[in-house]
Amino acid sequence: MKVLFADEKKNWHMLVDIVLEKRNIDVEHAYTVNEAVNKISAGNLDFAILDVRLRDGTAYDVLKQVKPKVPVI
């Protein structure tokens, strides 16, 4: 299983890695709207977790640019 985690805070990324990798879930990381859009558009995710605030915008900006074919939390 592969998950995208998008958040501006590095500490949250480290925590998500620890928790999800113990459950054999691969984590892709994004810190900006552009990174999140590119990774969702690549189409190889099972779901995405988007924080509302990213470095250069919001999760809503991501969703406006892509129509994800995966669940988004």
The amino acid occupying position 53 is R
Helix (H) or strand (E) holding 2, with range, is: strand 2-6
Looking at residue 68, its pLDDT comes to 77
- pTM score, two decimals? 0.91
- Strand, coil or helix: 21: helix
**Averaged confidence pLDDT in the chain:** 94
Helix (H) or strand (E) holding 62, with range, is: helix 59-65
